[in-house]
A and B are shown apart, each in its own frame.
Chain A
């Protein structure tokens, strides 16, 4: 248990479905992140929230929509995804600016789009 909890652990969804990924951190951090890990690619930063404000959006398609209602919770709303969006989605949190141990990751949600 890292202090960052992600649900669900696994998700299979059709291309016309709408689903949401949830992340919660119990570390008192003030920044939260969504990363995407695809096979043989670097971990890709998708979104950064610092003090509940979105401060980074790395050219992510609009079919991915983040929400940060407070400093402990982060959501990733998914709609009309494509099969190439199948990947491991990792939530992370940190102090901002990043110090010492960098970000703390959750265990991820393995997403399969069919």
Chain B
């Protein structure tokens, strides 16, 4: 049973436009959510996170929105740049001892010129 789902395996966006990556989760106990970015031949790197007590967190061009009632979060990248082309993973966790992250399958973003 996949508790974190990214239903779009790929997304293509023109440079300068907005990229919206979506993520759904099923476990209502999750209270912390993160986005990771992965380039080929590298490990995933942390991008942005949000706690369940918030519904929005912004960091430069990246904004994450959380809709707890819908168990849905999204990552907005504005404006998109060619260097943003990568695979983006959504992850969720429950805080507590030996807490762990549950990842989605990833969405490959391609930003075109």
Contact = CB atoms under 8 A, between A and B. Distances in A.
* A, B in one complex: yes
B66 interface: no
A102 B48 CA distance: 10
A3 B28 CA distance: 32
Contacts, number: 76
A98 B91 CA distance: 12
Given A50-B97, A90-B43, A108-B43, A98 B104 contact: no
Contacts of A56: 98, 100
Contacts of B45: 2, 105
Q: Specify which of A31, A50, A101 lies most central, judged by the most chain B CB atoms within 10 Å of its CB.
A: A101
B32 interface: yes
Contacts of B2: 42
Contacts of A104: 46
A97 B93 CA distance: 10
Interface string B37-55: 0000111111001000000
B101 interface: yes
Interface in A1-54: 2, 4, 6, 31, 33, 35, 40-43, 45, 48, 50
A107 B41 contact: yes
A103 interface: yes
B99 interface: yes
A97 B99 contact: yes
A50 B98 contact: yes
Nearest to A110: B41
Contacts of B96: 97
A9 to B, nearest CB: 8
B34 A97 contact: no
Given A2-B43, A4-B43, A43-B89, A101 B49 contact: yes
18 contacts: A6-B43, A40-B9, A42-B2, A42-B4, A42-B103, A42-B106, A45-B100, A45-B101, A55-B98, A96-B97, A97-B97, A98-B93, A99-B95, A102-B34, A102-B36, A102-B46, A107-B42, A110-B41
Interface of A: 2, 4, 6, 31, 33, 35, 40-43, 45, 48, 50, 55-56, 90, 92, 96-108, 110
